A and B are shown apart, each in its own frame.
Chain A
Amino acid sequence: DTGVSQDPRHKITKRGQNVTFRCDPISEHNRLYWYRQTLGQGPEFLTYFQNEAQLEKSRLLSDRFSAERPKGSFSTLEIQRTEQGDSAMYLCASSLVSGDQETQYFGPGTRLLVL
Chain B
Amino acid sequence: GQNIDQPTEMTATEGAIVQINCTYQTSGFNGLFWYQQHAGEAPTFLSYNVLDGLEEKGRFSSFLSRSKGYSYLLLKELQMKDSASYLCAVRDSNYQLIWGAGTKLIIKP
Residues of A within 8 A of B (CB): 40-45, 56, 91, 100, 102-109, 111
Give the total of B residues in contact with A, Cβ under 8 Å.
24
A103 B100 Cβ-Cβ under 8 A:
no
B96 A42 Cβ-Cβ under 8 A:
no
Expressed in whole angstroms, the Cα–Cα distance for A40 and B37 within the complex equals 11
**B96 proximity list for chain A (CB < 8 A):** 45, 56
Residues of B within 8 A of A (CB): 4, 8, 30-31, 33, 35, 40-45, 48, 50, 87, 89, 91, 95-97, 99-102
The 9 nearest A-B residue pairs measured at CB: A42-B99, A106-B42, A109-B42, A106-B43, A42-B101, A108-B42, A43-B99, A41-B101, A42-B100
B87 A100 Cβ-Cβ under 8 A:
no
Given the contacts A41-B102, A42-B100, A104 and B42 also touching, CB distance less than 8 Å: no
Main secondary structure, interface of A, reads loop
**B40 proximity list for chain A (CB < 8 A):** 111
Expressed in whole angstroms, the Cα–Cα distance for A107 and B33 within the complex equals 17
Expressed in whole angstroms, the Cα–Cα distance for A44 and B97 within the complex equals 9
Main secondary structure, interface of B, reads loop
Instruction: List, sorted by A's number, 5 A–B pairs whose CB atoms are closer than 8 Å.
Output: A40-B8, A44-B99, A104-B33, A106-B43, A108-B41
Given the contacts A91-B42, A106-B43, A42 and B89 also touching, CB distance less than 8 Å: yes
B89 A106 Cβ-Cβ under 8 A:
no
Q: Which residue of B lies closest to A103 (CB)?
A: B45
**B30 proximity list for chain A (CB < 8 A):** 100
Q: Which residue of B lies closest to A56 (CB)?
A: B96
